Structure 1
Amino acid sequence: MTGWHASDHLVARYADGCLPEADAWSLEKHLESCGGCALRVSRAVRATAAGPALDGIREKILADVRGAVPARVPEAAPPAHGPVPGAPDPARPAGSPVRTRPRVYRWPSAGPGAVRLLWALGPAVRGAWLPAVLLVAVGAVALAHGGGIANTRPWLLALAPVVPVAGVALSYGPHADPMHEITAATPSAGLRLVLTRTAAVLAVSLPLLTLAGALLPSTGAPNAAAWLLPGLALTLASLALAGYVGLRTATAVTGGGWLCAVLGPVLTAPGGLTDELGERLSRYLDGAPAQGGWAAAAVLCAALLAARRPAFHFLEKS
């Protein structure tokens, strides 16, 4: 719970139904943790023309609940060899208080915590995307050390920035999550949920691919961590662009643009593909100017993403 509380003007506009949807969602999210504001909003809504209708619905629900309560089931008769209820216990002295064992209620288990965590973090982490990332990382290391191919790091660095972008595309939307309609209807949906699942994708792909790159021979290619800022910048650019064109289109534009910029000239070069790719990656990734440019791009995309925050309440609704 924060120090901010809803003003009387905001509560009145919400009760009248004239508050913009983005502000209404923000207020509803605040009401989940602030009982005082929730009570004020409830009173304001009940004071409007909808108040009598809401009271009628409440009374009907309470009546249905009271009618649905099952009758008390009489206790089963004790076995023939057991004591009769209400009869004095010969083993207890007369006049001593009767002590009963308190009833202990246990909540049913909700399942393993790891399973619930993976489900909340998004479809990309619990779906086919994670095995694909492992295949890329382990395959590159196996080709370098087991297959005798020493120039695998440039190819890994060329593909690494696209991996988190693809994970973000597979983490949010009806095409990826069968429960998306339910999730999108909650106050926690929108940018907050997108950022949570993006953080999960980055937490998996960044250390895994960086470790795999560190295990590969350098052979003149940039260092294994040189792709981190470009990968972060491309991911933020995808999210910022998603506020305009949708998540799948945005990730296709940013990821496809990177692959075309890096691999397109290499495929048409007359020399060796790996040598040409290593030189091009050095221009894109090596040195303070290149890394500073990617850092500035990441900050700019983050600012644009914050400015487009209300658009994420309508992201991938259909």
Structure 2
Amino acid sequence: MTGWHASDDVVARYSDGSLPETDAWSLEKHLEGCGTCAARVSRAAREGAAGVVLAEVRDAVLAAVVESAPSPAAVPIAPPVLGVPTAPPVAAASRRPRAVGGRLGRILWAAGPALRGAWAGAVALVAVGALALAYGGGFDGTRPLLLAVAPLVPVAGVALSYGRHADPLHEIVATSPSGGLRLVLMRTAAVLAVSVPLLTVAGLLLPATDPRLPQAPAAAAWLLPGLALTLATLALSGYVGCRTASTVIGGGWLLALAAPLLTAPDPGLTARLARQLSLYFTGASPQWGWAAASALCALLLAARRSAYDRLETM
């Protein structure tokens, strides 16, 4: 039950089919949790022009069910065995095996492009490319470069996992009971489940930085910053949409890295990048700062959860 109820005009327009599709989807989702409005819509439909047709359809369905139902005499019953209690007959429908892959299909649908599209392959390509650049190309700055890119990967994954551009049925899915913030979080979790292991393992496999250069942060030092940037993207998405939020957060991160690099007097881009990443990632103070930012963004998500019910549906 909710504190908001549909107006009589909305109920009437929905019943006669003149309500716009997006408003109708929003009302249908509201009806699933509001018995009062559902009863009003049902009464309006029965009293309108469609009431006669609905009554005829209902009677036809009930008649078909009654005719197709087997009589008690038609159900075979095994003869009782002495000393063994007789079990009631099991309906045929209950013995039907479940469709193979049904649960897996629902998981893949909920995960979005993070598991069923080309995005996972792109993340794997980034990890393999970093290893090839380090071992095949002999580039000493591979680890700082990977750590600089790693926090952006889940941000890009969020932009590619939710919205009209990611799902042809997005408007219907977003207004369903499984839509809204729940679907956004499920697809974000799938993005993190793909990107975090691949990029962390790639960072661990990279060779050590040249001793003459500043040491880059540890391979897992980007995890909290990556989580904070991802949650910041989700929090901002409630205001401007996923793609715009990803662009703003990703651009802000690149600017925070590039501005000090361009103004630093030290020669060598790799050394400056490693030093800048150490400033952002290494030590208790930066990591606690990223953790606090993550918690703040999570609280903002919870406070504005209703804003995601119609996210990118217009």
Alignment of 1:289 onto 2:285: yes
Post-superposition offset of 1:147? 3.0
Change (3 A) 1:242 1:41: closer
Distance in 1 separating the partners of 2:134 and 2:7: 65
Post-superposition offset of 1:244? 1.1
Counterpart AA for 1:254: I
Alignment of 1:143 onto 2:139: no
Alignment of 1:315 onto 2:311: yes
Change (3 A) 1:29 1:223: farther
Change (3 A) 1:41 1:178: closer
Q: How does 1:1-318 map to 2 (within 5 A)?
A: 6=1, 13=5, 28=31, 30=33, 51-53=46-48, 56=52, 58-63=54-59, 65=61, 106=96, 109-111=99-101, 114-219=104-209, 220-267=215-262, 269=264, 271-318=267-314
Change (3 A) 1:57 1:191: farther
Change (3 A) 1:236 1:104: same
**TM-score after normalising by structure 1:** 0.73
Aligned-residue Cα RMSD (Å) equals: 3.5
Counterpart AA for 1:120: A
Change (3 A) 1:24 1:303: farther
Is the CA contact (8 Å cut-off) linking 1:150 and 1:216 kept in structure 2?
no
Change (3 A) 1:65 1:18: closer
Post-superposition offset of 1:272? 0.8
Counterpart AA for 1:275: A
Distance in 2 separating the partners of 1:64 and 1:188: 32
Distance in 2 separating the partners of 1:293 and 1:29: 41
| Paired residue secondary structure (2:163) | coil
Q: Deviations over 1:150-185 (max 9, x none)?
A: 331100000000000000000011111112122123
Distance in 2 separating the partners of 1:303 and 1:113: 31
If you compute each CA radius of gyration, which structure gives the higher value, 1 or 2? 1
1:34 maps to which residue? none
Counterpart AA for 2:230: T
Q: Deviations over 1:97-137 (max 9, x none)?
A: xxxxx996645735475454223211233222111100111
Distance in 2 separating the partners of 1:232 and 1:103: 50
Distance in 1 separating the partners of 2:259 and 2:119: 25
Distance in 1 separating the partners of 2:120 and 2:252: 23
Higher RCO (Cα < 8 Å, 6 or more apart): 2
Q: Which moved more, 1:170-179 or 1:261-270?
A: 261-270
1:94 maps to which residue? none
Change (3 A) 1:268 1:26: same
Higher helix proportion, which one? Answer: 2
Change (3 A) 1:190 1:43: closer
Distance in 2 separating the partners of 1:25 and 1:194: 20
| Paired residue secondary structure (2:141) | coil
Post-superposition offset of 1:265? 3.3
